[in-house]
């Protein structure tokens, strides 16, 4: 299933939240996410712009297959065409991680992020904060037309939108996510 989502980088969280609230959006909440990302030992998913993500969202746990589609650059300089996501809800983070490892997957990395979510007319506005990155905005909806409409609501320049993963944002900062085993607010740990 194609994800209809764009990112706007390096946002001022407070100003953006005021702007979103001014649209009449409802604040759904502030969340702390933890995730483990899995791949095969030969990193074949990574080589195809894909990954398997187990994420604890606080109120639910999801397992997702994600894949970048129409990859134009690895360094984030050019947006991808879109993103594929197949997601299911699971009920146990630790047991699901064990199951994946028993199936032959390895943990590629563990990461944390903070998210503030606002919703208006079927559009999700997520302001994400990750270790070592400036906050960024994700706008997601069921259609590209709704995403474009939300961009206009905020007065953002459509030319500034990005379609790619957080990994590409790290690459834009000169960091290759594959070099790290842990990305937490307490620090980053490089792969040995």
Q: What is the pLDDT of residues 155-191, one digit of tens each?
A: 999 999 999 999 999 999 999 988 999 999 999 999 8
Go through 118-141 and write b for each residue having 16 or more CB atoms within 10 A of its CB, e for each that does not.
bebeebbbbbbebbebebbbbbbb
Number of Cβ atoms within 10 Å of the Cβ of 23? 14
Distance CA 191, CA 46 (A): 16
Q: How far is CA 132 from CA 29, 108, 174, 184, in A?
A: 23, 18, 11, 9
pLDDT in tens, 22-37: 999 999 999 999 999 9
pTM comes to 0.88
Delimit the domains of the chain by residue range.
Answer: 2-190
Question: Domain spanning 2-190: which CATH class is it, in words?
Answer: mainly beta
Residue 143: CB atoms within 10 Å: 11
As a whole number of angstroms, the distance between CA 147 and CA 153 comes to: 10
């Amino acid at each position: 299933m194609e994800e209809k989502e764009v990112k706007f980088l390096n946002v001022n969280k407070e100003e953006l939240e005021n702007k979103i609230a001014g649209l009449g959006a409802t604040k759904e909440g502030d969340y702390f996410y933890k995730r483990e990302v899995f791949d095969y030992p030969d990193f074949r998913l990574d080589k195809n712009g894909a990954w398997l993500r187990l994420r604890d969202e606080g109120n639910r746990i999801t397992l997702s297959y994600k894949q970048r589609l129409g990859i134009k650059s690895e360094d984030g300089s050019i947006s991808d065409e879109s993103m594929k996501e197949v997601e299911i809800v699971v009920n146990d983070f630790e047991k699901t991680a064990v199951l994946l490892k028993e199936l032959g997957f390895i943990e590629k990395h563990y990461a944390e992020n903070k998210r503030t979510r606002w919703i208006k007319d079927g559009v999700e506005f997520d302001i994400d904060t990750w270790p070592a990155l400036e906050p960024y905005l994700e706008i997601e909806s069921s259609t590209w037309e709704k995403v474009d409409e939300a961009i206009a609501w905020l007065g953002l320049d459509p030319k500034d939108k990005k379609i790619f993963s957080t990994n590409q944002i790290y690459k834009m900062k000169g960091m290759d996510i594959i070099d790290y085993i842990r990305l937490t607010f307490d620090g980053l740990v490089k792969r040995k």
